Amino acid sequence: MNCIEKILASHAGKQTVSPDDIIEVDLDYVMSNDACTVLAIDVFKKELKAEKVFDPEKLVMFMDHYTPSSSIDAAKVHRKMREFAHEQGLRNLYDGAGICHQLMIERHVQPGQVIIGADSHTCSYGSLGALATGMGSTDVAIAWQQGKIWMKVPHTLKIDVTGKWPKAVYAKDLMLKVVGELTASGATYKALYFTGEAIEALSISGRTTLCNMAIETGAKFAYISPDKKTAEYLDRIGRAQEFCFENEQDTGNFESTVHIDVSTLTPQIARPGRVDDVCNIDTLKGTKVDELFLGACTNGSFDDLAVAAQILKNRTIAPSVRMLVTPASIDIYLQAINAGFIETFIKSGAMVNHPGCSACFGGSGGILGPKEVLLSTANRNFKGRVGSSESEIYLASPAVIAASAITGTITDPREV
Amino acid sequence: MTSAKAITFGDNIDTDQIIAACHLVLPTIRDMSLYCFEHYPQFSESFSAGDFIVGGKNFGCGSSREQAPAVLKERGVRAIVAQSFARIFYRNAVNLGIRLIQCEAAGAISLFDKLRFEDNLLINITKKCEYPVHPFPPFIEDIIKRGGIIAHLTHSA
């Protein structure tokens, strides 16, 4: 068994599992947010006719996609969530504290856990060595009741990343490259296992960027073996826990291996409409943009804000554009204030928003009009995702967003 | 099963296209279903209850929103045919008891072709041909036949 299969076996009460086995796993957390919880509550109460959740400590709920409530309907959704949380005695209900995935990583996830969430980017938690995947509201309702869920053991695709990181090239560029190579369905039902010296060199936030976008290849899980950096991160945020360092990069079963050398990688961009339509920044340099967004569960971390703030320090954004900055959590927001980043962003002319999904999801601010162009650090560029179906969304790293904000056109961060 | 027309789409249809984020806070699936495929005239102008949805590769990719298959069910989709399905959409649709048909030849079906599905065969009446269909595991087939995971669980209990 590889490291992913070992975690699944331990949660299924089995000695061994193999790819394609159907197993029932015990869940460490069931996550949901304001885009999907109300539907789950309806299924839980009306269809399952359930009364009590299996363990109130293991449900975690977030208001992040439409918060602060962006419409009367959103306010009603939030009210239903609060009522359900109160009625079930849930302590883990977050309103306006940040994006569900960032907060799960900061406050809940531990290596070796198995977690489901009613959000496709739940696979992010692989950055801490947890197996997490997105499901729909009905599966979440069943998990609330039973504390377990069926799943198929995935085949594992190993992504071995070597080389030294070049200047102005980041985890986002690597992941866009991976999505472009694998395509939007290239890893459907599979687990992505990231390993190699370039992965070891990444901070937890960079690892989260990679795991976050695994779903854009169709993957079920993303996973990075916990290491010294994982332990240091958990220690730093006051959640140190003993876990087994299983340095087993080369053991176990992998369906296939993809080798990537980051030392030759350049800044990457996904063109509008498809996350797997990826090219080198050279191809698009000079493309005019209207809005820039720095944030989302992909790239709203302290490290991401630091990269952008360094570029924007003592500079102003082009008068032709607006820039939105949304830290992924309140802790990141406070750290960014203390580090002077928020002052830098405000002085540069950017709008700083309260932590949440913001202009990634189109559920609150930053909505695009027809023919407008957004350059975003988010994970998706689907038609109409952030407003008008006639708008266009390009995806890139925080460095590209900051550099392009200064010029008002797509700009290579190595040239500012 | 009687025949009905095909409403066709291309590859990589994501769930944002089926139902956009701004509508997910509406109070009921019925309210949301009015906005199903709102930017696709072949659906908004021509879909009738009982019709087939036909996609290409990776149908239903993107967001995990169960509202996407739910609004299609609410509108009365007979079955969703695709060359392949994205994982979460597949699971959500099965959970709701929607008939999914995985068919390598889905791309050969044209808009408004008359289709019929019976005995695990997809028949294109307009083009006078039959397409082989990829069988689902018995476990999945049982969930669909029972009308969804809730009915399946109730039965198993």
Min distance B96 CA to chain A CA atoms (Å): 8
Residue A249, pLDDT > 70, answer: no
Which of A248-262, B7-21, B29-43, B102-116 is the least confident region? A248-262
Mean pLDDT of A373-391: 97
Mean pLDDT of B144-156: 92
Q: B61 and A184: CB-CB below 8 Å? A: yes
Q: Which domains does chain A have, with CATH numbers?
A: 3-262 (3.30.499.10), 269-415 (3.30.499.10)
Q: B22 and A380: CB-CB below 8 Å? A: no
Min distance A76 CA to chain B CA atoms (Å): 8
Give how far the C-alpha of residue A177 lies from the chain's centroid of Cα atoms, to the nearest Å: 17
List, for residues A109-165, the tens digit of each pLDDT value: 999 999 999 999 999 999 999 999 999 999 999 999 999 999 999 999 999 999 999
Q: B21 and A363: CB-CB below 8 Å? A: yes
Q: Which domains does chain B have, with CATH numbers?
A: 4-156 (3.20.19.10)
Residue type (1 letter), B88: I
Q: Calculate the average pLDDT of chain B.
A: 96
Is residue A389 within 8 angstroms of chain B, CB to CB? yes
- Integer-rounded Cα radius of gyration of chain B: 15
Residue A247, pLDDT > 70, answer: no
Q: A218 and B86: CB-CB below 8 Å? A: yes
| Residues pairing with A61 in the sheet | A32, A93
What does the alpha-carbon distance between residue A151 and residue A257 come to, in Å, rounded to a whole number?
23
Q: What is the ipTM of this complex?
A: 0.96
Question: How much is the pLDDT for A383?
Answer: 96
Going by pLDDT thresholds of 50, 70 and 90, the confidence category of residue B154 is confident
Going by pLDDT thresholds of 50, 70 and 90, the confidence category of residue A250 is low
List, for residues A53-80, the tens digit of each pLDDT value: 999 999 999 999 999 999 999 999 999 9
B134 Rama sector, left if φ>0, alpha if ψ -120 to 50, beta otherwise? beta
Provide the strand spans (E) within A196-285: 221-223, 256-261, 268-270, 278-280
What does the alpha-carbon distance between residue A286 and residue A216 come to, in Å, rounded to a whole number?
27
What does the alpha-carbon distance between residue A374 and residue A289 come to, in Å, rounded to a whole number?
6
Contact residues on chain A for B58, CB-CB shorter than 8 A: 184-185, 188, 218
Q: A137 and B96: CB-CB below 8 Å? A: no
The percent of residues in chain A predicted with pLDDT above 70, rounded, is 98
Burial level of A215, CB count in 10 A (0-12/13-18/19+)? Answer: buried
Sequence-ordered list of residues with C-beta below 8 angstroms from that of A90, at least 6 positions apart, any chain:
A53, A56, A59, A61, A84
A318 to each of A74, A313, A315, A323, how far by Cα in Å? 34, 14, 10, 9
Kindly state the tokens that stand for A207: 């690892």
Question: How much is the pLDDT for B1?
Answer: 64
